[in-house]
Amino acid sequence: MDHPTIETGLSSDQLDHSAPTPLYHQIYLVLREKIRSGAFPANSIMPGEQELAKLFDVSRITVKRALNELAAHDLVTRHRGRGTVVTASAALPQVHGSFDNLIESLKTMGLETQVEILEMTDQPAASNVAALLDIEPGTKVQRAVRLRKLTGEPFSYLVQYMPTDIAAMIPRDAMKTVPILLLLEQAGATPYEAEQWITAVAAEPHIAAALGMSPGAPLLRVERVMRDKTGRAIQLIHAHYRPDRFKYHMRSSRKGGASAWKSE
């Protein structure tokens, strides 16, 4: 089989020599992201140990440890005389969200993924949570922390707040298998309107651990409020997504005058 060659896009600038994380593991993380993002495609041959050592400005032994770690995680196979080959199953599938028909997109995402519930408690709403849910600070809300997975690999860490009267209508076990928007509909709180804010943040240690990332790694953070037809806030969610496993898509076009734009 012919193996495609790849442009590395690698340099010593991607390593932090002052960080407590060993250099070989930093290299492993850099190469892993290249593989999972598709920059190093399946069945391609990785750069050799000597080339990687030169690119990262480290010893060949350090590079060898990083490649061995990739092999231990079934991301590559190592062959004497042929080099290191990216495995066919290494690239992770991605979940795609859309601003076009957001609610239906979220339902589909719920059907295609699996959920693990990490925490669930009733607690007084903090002032920032209360403001977004349009309730008085200190009002009891249900707080649920969920880890969403695709093909067994985590891609989002979700902290959800709901009014307790709505949450009481939703069985805990159902949250593991049924999209939350469908459960809200069944509870008589049909989502009608969504407002959300998107930003990039550094992964806090506990979130990084849950998502299988290094602390401080970049995450896509989405804060979303769902409202029913009366305008009542029925759900607030703080979602942290792995950027290598999640994409949002939006298309805009000009309609009418020079200042008239429409999202599609």
- For residues 99-126, give the mean pLDDT: 71
- For residues 80-99, give the mean pLDDT: 68
d(CA 106, CA 238) in angstroms, rounded, equals: 14
Helix locations, 168-248, DSSP H: 180-186, 205-211
Last residue of a domain, one of 86, 104, 133: 86
DSSP state of 45: B
212 sits in the region (left: phi over 0; alpha: psi -120 to 50; else beta) called left
Residue 33's pLDDT band, with cuts at 50, 70 and 90, is confident
Strand partners, 96: 247
Residue 255's pLDDT band, with cuts at 50, 70 and 90, is low
| In a domain? residue 258 | no
Q: Give residues with Cβ within 8 angstroms of 72, minimum separation 6.
A: none
Q: Which two tokens stand for residue 260?
A: 């008239």
Domain tally, the chain: 2
| In a domain? residue 7 | no
Residue 110's pLDDT band, with cuts at 50, 70 and 90, is low
HSE, CB side, 13 Å, CA atoms: give it for residue 169: 16
The mean of the pLDDT values for the chain is: 82
Question: Both 127 and 59 in a single domain?
Answer: no
- For residues 242-260, give the mean pLDDT: 64
Are β-strands 218-227 and 193-202 bridged in parallel, bridged antiparallel, or unpaired?
antiparallel
- For residues 216-244, give the mean pLDDT: 91
pLDDT at 6 over 70: no
Predicted confidence at residue 94, as pLDDT, reads 54
- For residues 194-219, give the mean pLDDT: 90
Last residue of a domain, one of 62, 86, 110: 86
| In a domain? residue 218 | yes
Taking the whole predicted model, whether its pTM rises above 0.85 is answered as no
pLDDT at 170 over 50: yes
Cβ-contact 48, 67 below 8 angstroms = no
CATH number, position 115: 3.40.1410.10
Element (H, E) at 47: none
| In a domain? residue 114 | yes
Domain that holds residue 73: 12-86
DSSP state of 191: -
